[in-house]
Amino acid sequence: MFKKSFLSFLAVVFMVSILLAGCSSNQPSGGEEGQSNVKTKEIKKEGKDITIAVAENFISMDPHDTNDTLSYSAQKTMLEGLLGFDKEMKVIPVLAESYKASTNAKVFTFKLKHGIKFHDGTPLNAEAVKVNIDRLADPNNNLKRHSLFEMVEKTEAIDEYTVKVTLKKPFGAMINNFAHPAAMMISPKALKKYDKEVARHPVGTGPYVFKEWKPGDYLKVEKNATYWQKDLPKLDSITFKPVPENGSRVAMLQTGEADFIYPVPTEQAKAINGKKGIVVENDPSIVVRYMSMNTMKKPFSEKKVRQAMNYAVNKEAFMKVVMQGYADKMDSVIAPETQFYSAQKTYDFNIEKAKKLLKEAGYENGFTAKIWGSNTSSAQKAMEFLQQQLSQVNIKLKIEPMEAGTMSEKIWSVDDPKKANIELYYGGWSPSTGDADWGVRPLLGGKDAFPPKSYNTAYFDNGKSNELLNQALQTADPKVREEAYAKLQTLLWEEAPWVFLSVDHTMLGKREYLKGVTLLPDGSLTVTDGEIVQ
Amino acid sequence: MVQANLAHQPKDKTELARPQPVQVKARTPLSEFWRKFKKQKMALVAGSFVLALMLIALVGPYIAPYSSKEFDYESILAGPSLHHWMGTDAYGRDIFSRVLEGTRISLFVGLFSVLFGALGGTILGIIAGFYGKWIDSVIMRICDVLFAFPGILLAIGIIAILGPGLSNVIIAVSIFSVPIFARIVRSSTLSVKATLYVEATKSLGAKNSRLIWKHIFPGTVSSIIVYFTMRIGTSILTAASLSFLGLGAQPPTPEWGAMLSSGRDYLNTAPHVVFYPGMAIFVTVLAFNLLGDGLRDALDPKIKD
């Protein structure tokens, strides 16, 4: 009798195998069609309350003290800045009516819109703006975004609706810094009342009002009935839920528990798109993926080794295997939609050339190195891919995935750059000012950007590139800046402090009835125009 | 004559009795065990499966059709086919070859973690049971402390201290196996210690070391063997769980749990990537548990046949 049951068990395994074989080979053609035919009734939404599932926990609701794009996404429902970005990352006025920059990039004047009030009734005027900029500019406040405003010398309220900001030294990218979500305005009254605790009680001018935040569980915002833009907002409330597990997030969208999710895991994007009233949208972002190499350490101090590694990695395969095709080729240190981008000649996959360069550098037999990165499944996949690629030129990688806490301790609590243990690091960067300066300086801006101060995980310190970076900041004249950044990008591409991998796509998944909610190229969410159309 | 007769008679008797021992074979413990064990068909099948697994563990990498590291970006996530019996994973690696190679890792981790755990546990258990008094209390209270943690949580804690890696998984799983063995061995030590033959040996003046080694330890072996086998299944499962959580085997090691972990993103689109490693874990753990059950029934003198 037992034999019988064992045989039938074997039979089941066998049948499942056949079934799986059938499923996977038919997938591209038959699978999808079959599904759409079975499309039953349309999915309806009741009420105007939506749920957005996101991948990580929110850290803070104080824009001045935030350095993750995700927290900004939630903050942007409640707070607004003088300037902002449109869908192409072009700077647009928000709370400001107009703005002016002096040609030497030292004095910036803003005219404010009239009649705007914070959620607590405080009027938005020059004085309120001054309080905010002063808070950011004061190093004693220890705010994470102080670095964007450290060059501010003074802020003056000229009249009720005019603000003048004067800088200590010219800073050409300042307009973009003002458009960065870090410069969003908090009610001065709330700042006084809550002080540091304002991170849990955000009061701004935005279309939604803060309701409740249970960290790790959910964050809820409600409609601002007295919003300054006419007929907005169109939703009653938005609930954000952090759901780190990719599969669960997708399931929430499929069951209707969430109306919008991001990011959609690239592995499942094709499978869920167009089914059960779900739409997946992907657009080029300004998020770059790279592997930085510690240029202070051997063998990465050798330019030829760095270039060889760039040649040894097949970027097309990276985009296909790791990103499932939802990525673009990276052809400069910054993404095409970043201001002042200029394309470079790419390092095309060429094992022979890589081997030749390694031989010239004296590493004919390769070497061993360790690569650090996050422990998310996508980062691990990328690191494993790099391991496979570099093994072709005898470079053996040891993968060390780390959770966020360990990583920040290992990378950002290094006092002496010479003692830094980091060798290779797989990471990504989203320059939320949309400007070349913020895309390069924090990552490759010489000694000032070394950890723990900033994100220069390549410990890259090149006199010429530092000079170009500074030069570009001396003026607000876009022509002059463009020229400097073009030279800079060519130089950095040649120096290759990173293995340049790809430019991400933003991946969002939503229900068909939800319109107007979208992602900016920096990966942050905008919901101002969100509405339900059935 | 009489004498001769007298001498002859017993001889005759022995001659008559001679066929007797052939019929009722003197049973060695081993043959007795085998007699009982082979009656359990389920355990027999499980046992031969385990043997097959061990064989695969030895020769697996040599008979695998592909190398576990061999990637092929042209055929990623392909379903099962003639070329790839279990399909390919996200890098186009042959899952069948990886599962084969993973057998060695899983068995190695399962076997050694339990071996170390059993070793430590047995020593502690015998000491506690034999000497009693405060030593017993101290050892058993420490075990209670360890028992208070759920196994996997304790293992995660240990990994957090030691850092991720397969060898640390072995250490972690051994540590949380120790108290279980200690408790079992202690209780059988206590019962064996109270038996008459131990009392007798003791009164004959045997040293403690001889008592423990020659008389008490053999009495505890059967319970150790049973639990040892049962425990291997659990250890394989724990090691796989730890690797699934990213605390055990690091990529590109073809460990089953790690394969599940990296494949879970494709659960909707390419289920075969997780199906086969999952099946491998399932069948292996099941086999060890069934084998353990069979061993228990065969070794337990209380169970009459």
Predicted confidence (pLDDT) per residue in A483-514, tens digit? 999 999 999 999 999 999 999 999 999 999 99
d(Cα A42, Cα A512) in Å, to the nearest integer? Answer: 10
Place of tokens 């959580």: B245
Predicted confidence at residue A57, as pLDDT, reads 86
A496 phi-psi bin (left φ>0, alpha ψ -120 to 50, beta other): left
- Check B251 against A272: CB less than 8 A apart: no
- Say yes or no for a CB contact (<8 Å) between B87 and A6: no
Which amino acid does the sequence have at A212? Answer: E
Residues of B in contact with A383 (CB under 8 A): 251
Note whether A24 contacts B268, CB cutoff 8 Å: no
Q: Which residues of A touch B265 (CB under 8 A)?
A: 246-247, 265, 267-268, 377-378
pLDDT 10s digits, B261-277: 888 888 888 889 999 99
Q: Give chain A's mean pLDDT.
A: 87
**Strand pairing report for A367-374 and A395-402:** parallel
What's the whole-number mean pLDDT along residues B12-37? Answer: 64
Instruction: For chain A, give the percent of residues with pLDDT over 70.
Output: 92
Give the pLDDT confidence score for residue B301 in this predicted structure.
66
Inter-CA distances, B84 with A29, A389, B251, Å = 21, 22, 21
**Nearest C-alpha in B relative to A374:** B246
pTM of the predicted model as reported, rounded to 2 decimal places: 0.80
| Calpha distance A311→A353 (Å, rounded) | 7
Q: Which residue has the higher pLDDT, B22 or A196?
A: A196
Q: Which of A2, A247, A399 sits opposite B250 (nearest CB)?
A: A399
Residue pair A69/A258 in contact by the 8 Å Cβ criterion: no
User: How far does chain A reach from its first CA to its final CA, in angstroms?
Assistant: 59
Q: Render pLDDT for A17-41 as a digit per residue (tens, 0 to 9).
A: 555 554 444 333 333 333 444 444 4
Q: Which of A56-70, A324-338, A458-472 has the lowest mean pLDDT?
A: A56-70
Output b/e per residue, A288-306; b: 16+ Cβ within 10 A: bbbbbbbbbbebbebebbb
- Measured between beta carbons, the chain A residues lying within 8 angstroms of B91 are 321, 384-385, 388
What is the per-residue pLDDT across A189-248, written as a single tens digit (0 to 9) for each?
Answer: 999 888 888 889 999 999 999 999 998 899 999 999 889 988 888 899 999 999 988 888
**CA–CA separation, A121 vs A43, rounded Å?**
39
Per-residue pLDDT, A130: 92
Distance from CA of A413 to the nearest CA of B (A): 19
> For residues A429 and A401, what is the distance between their CA atoms, to the nearest angstrom?
18
* Predicted confidence (pLDDT) at residue B256 exceeds the cutoff of 60: yes
Tell me the chain B residues in contact with residue A270 when contact means C-beta distances shorter than 8 Å.
269
Is the four-CA dihedral A183, A185, A186, A188 of positive or negative sign? positive
- Model pLDDT, residue B303: 59
The amino acid occupying position B115 is: L
Residues of chain A neighbouring B251 (CB-CB closer than 8 A): 380, 383-384, 387, 399
- Report pLDDT for A271: 86
Measured distance between the N- and C-terminal CA atoms of chain B, rounded to whole angstroms: 51
Whether the CB-CB separation of A89 and A434 falls below 8 Å is answered with yes
Residue A393's DSSP bridge partners are none
Looking at CA atoms only, how far is residue A246 from chain B in angstroms?
7
- The alpha-carbon gap from B116 to the nearest alpha carbon of chain A, in Å, equals 27
Q: Which residues of A touch B277 (CB under 8 A)?
A: none
Residue A504 CB neighbour total at 10 angstroms:
25
Query: CA-to-CA distance for B125 and B193, rounded, in angstroms?
Result: 13
Cα–Cα distances in angstroms (integers) from residue B207 to residues A90, B123, B131, B243, B289, in the given order? 89, 17, 13, 47, 38
Q: Do B268 and A22 touch (CB under 8 A)?
A: no
- A interface with B, Cβ–Cβ below 8 Å: 2-3, 6, 13, 16-18, 20-25, 27, 246-247, 250, 265, 267-268, 270-272, 314, 317, 320-321, 375, 377-378, 380-381, 383-385, 387-388, 391, 398-401
Q: How far is A439 from chain B (nearest CA, A)?
A: 31
Question: In the predicted model, is pLDDT for residue A186 greater than 50?
Answer: yes
pLDDT in tens, A382-429: 999 999 999 999 999 999 888 777 887 888 888 888 888 899 999 999
Give the amino acid at A433: T
Q: Do A20 and B261 count as a contact with CB atoms less than 8 A apart?
A: no
- Angstrom distance (rounded) from CA A496 to CA A357: 13
**Does residue B71 belong to the interface with chain A, where contact is any CB pair within 8 Å?**
yes
The model's confidence at residue B24, banded by pLDDT at 50, 70 and 90, is low
pLDDT at residue number A5? 58
Between the CA of residue A135 and those of A60, A139, A191, B184, what are the distances in Å?
Answer: 17, 9, 10, 66
Name the band, by pLDDT with cuts 50, 70 and 90, for residue A13: low
User: Any alpha helices (H) in chain B, and if so which ranges?
Assistant: 2-17, 19-23, 29-37, 41-63, 95-131, 133-148, 151-162, 166-193, 196-203, 208-210, 217-244, 256-263, 272-299
Among candidates A22, A247, A271 on the partner chain, residue whose Cβ is nearest the Cβ of B264: A247
| Contact state of A27 with B269 under an 8 Å Cβ cutoff | yes
Q: What tokens appear for B126 in the block?
A: 């015998």
CA distances from B67 to A382, B61, B92 (A): 20, 8, 12
Short-list B35, B301, B83, B51, CA closest to B188: B301
pLDDT over threshold 70, residue A3: no
- Cα–Cα separations (whole angstroms), residue A232 to A236, A252, A272, A532: 10, 27, 31, 13
In Å, what is the CA distance from B219 to each residue of A159, A424, B36, B114, B191?
A: 95, 56, 19, 20, 9
Q: Residue A20: which of B71, B80, B252 has the nearest Cβ?
A: B80
CA distance B272 to chain A (A): 6
Closest CA to A377 of B89, B78, B277, B134: B89
Q: Residue A383's pLDDT is what? A: 93
B264–A contact, CB cutoff 8 A: yes
Count CB-CB contacts under 10 A for residue A411.
19
Query: Among residues B117, B85, B107, B88, which one has the least CA distance to residue B270?
Result: B88
Nearest-angstrom CA–CA distance, A392 and B71: 11
How far are the Cα atoms of A2, B9, B21 from residue B16, in angstroms, in the given order?
45, 11, 11
Q: What count of other Cβ atoms lies within 10 Å of the Cβ of residue A173?
A: 24
Distance, in angstroms, between A88 CA and closest chain B CA?
31
The pLDDT assigned to A81 comes to 93
Using a CB-CB distance cutoff of 8 angstroms, which residues of chain A are in contact with residue B79?
20-25
> Per the CB < 8 Å rule, is B269 touching A268?
yes
Block residue for tokens 């190229």 = A521
Task: Give per-residue pLDDT as tens, B41-73.
Answer: 888 899 999 999 999 999 888 888 888 888 888
Q: ipTM of this complex > 0.85?
A: no
> Which residue of B44, B73, B244, B279 to mutate against A (max A Cβ within 10 Å)?
B73
CB contact under 8 A, B45 and A2: yes
The band of B7, judged by pLDDT with boundaries at 50, 70 and 90, is very low
Lowest mean pLDDT among A293-297, A401-405, A444-448, A473-477: A401-405
Among the ranges given (A134-138, A351-355, A466-470, B204-208), the one the predictor scored with the smallest mean pLDDT:
B204-208
The whole-angstrom separation of Cα B23 and Cα B17 is 11
List of residues 6+ apart from B238 with CB closer than 8 A: B151, B152, B155, B173
Residue B12 has pLDDT above 60, yes or no: no
Our CA angle for A471, A472, A473, nearest 5°, is: 90
Q: Is the pLDDT of residue A89 over 90?
A: no
CB-CB under 8 Å, B246 with A375: yes
Which of B48, B247, B268 to mutate against chain A (most A CBs within 10 Å)?
Answer: B268
User: Six-digit token pair at B56?
Assistant: 């695969």
pLDDT bracket for residue B304 (50, 70, 90):
low
Please give the residue that has the higher pLDDT: either B226 or A367.
Answer: A367
Give the residue ranges of DSSP H helices in B211-270: 217-244, 256-263
